[in-house]
Amino acid sequence: MARSFRRKSPSGPEASPAQAVGADADAGDTSADAGFTGHKRGTKDADRGFGAWLKEIATIVVIALVLSFLIKTFLFRAFFIPSGSMEETLEIDDRIFVNQLVPQPFDLQRGDIVVFRDTKDWLPPQAETQVSWFKEALIFIGLAPDESQQHLVKRVIGLPGDHVICCDAEGRITVNGEPLDEPYLFPGANPSDLPFDVVVPEGRIWVMGDHRNASADSRANTDKRGEGFVDVEDIEGKAAVIAWPLNRIGFLGNHPDVFDGVPDPETAAQPAPAGS
């Protein structure tokens, strides 16, 4: 009697067509679930990346503000120029940065441009003005000049002990008997049209503007408290940089060559009387 044989699959009983289709469907569902899970994970990663970016930016801003405040408090401070008394070295509306390490711990030098508080009433009283909270914040961190206090900016001509006279026979100012040739003067301005003969007291300086015809400096305030001298303790610092406008950015020098020949006060020969 003939027998019929049915071939078995090596892996077991032969799968029915329905089972095969069912297996394909199950595999498809698994792939869909994996894709959905990956999408959710990608969204979370993107959100986490954006949050980390915001946190990094906030940290940088905070650090920058703190550094600005520290620099303003201990190193540099911003001021603006409201008048033409220092032209052409400084022009109206220039923004400058002042090095607050001068005069302490670094010494003042003749020729330095200094900003100092008006404690001797050289300026007329200032009208009160309203300042927005935003500008107050900028002033506090040092990104805007403080206009609430009266300040002046001038060039140091005489240090404590110096004998300063205007003028010699050639119309030049002398310091401890040494005449000064001043290249920083405003074009056409005389060293001084007002004669004077002073010895600078200890702890004070004698200052003058570069635009001598338009500067109410030490010469014009000898009848006020301090007799025209500026207390060293009133000095905010030395003007170091013009920061604005962009076409005037640069460092400010003190023209050491002008004062190189000036002897120390102790060894200075007495200058001749003015006009001799």
Catalytic residue among 154, 215, 218, 238: 154
User: Is residue 16 flagged as an active site residue?
Assistant: no
C-beta separation of 46 from 39 below 8 A: no
Q: End-to-end distance of the chain based on CA atoms, in angstroms?
A: 156
Rg (CA), the chain: 38
Q: CA-to-CA distance for 71 and 65, rounded, in angstroms?
A: 10
User: Is residue 85 flagged as an active site residue?
Assistant: yes
Residue 263 structure tokens: 């002897």
Q: CA-to-CA distance for 179 and 157, rounded, in angstroms?
A: 12
Catalytic residue among 8, 9, 55, 85: 85
3-state percent breakdown (helix, strand, coil) of the chain, nearest 5:
30, 20, 50
State how far the alpha carbon of 259 is from the alpha carbons of 104, 177, 191, 206, 212, in Å: 21, 12, 15, 14, 18
State how far the alpha carbon of 99 is from the alpha carbons of 39, 113, 120, 193, 213, in Å: 56, 10, 23, 32, 27
State how far the alpha carbon of 212 is from the alpha carbons of 140, 154, 156, 196, in Å: 34, 11, 13, 14
Give the catalytic positions in this structure: 85, 154
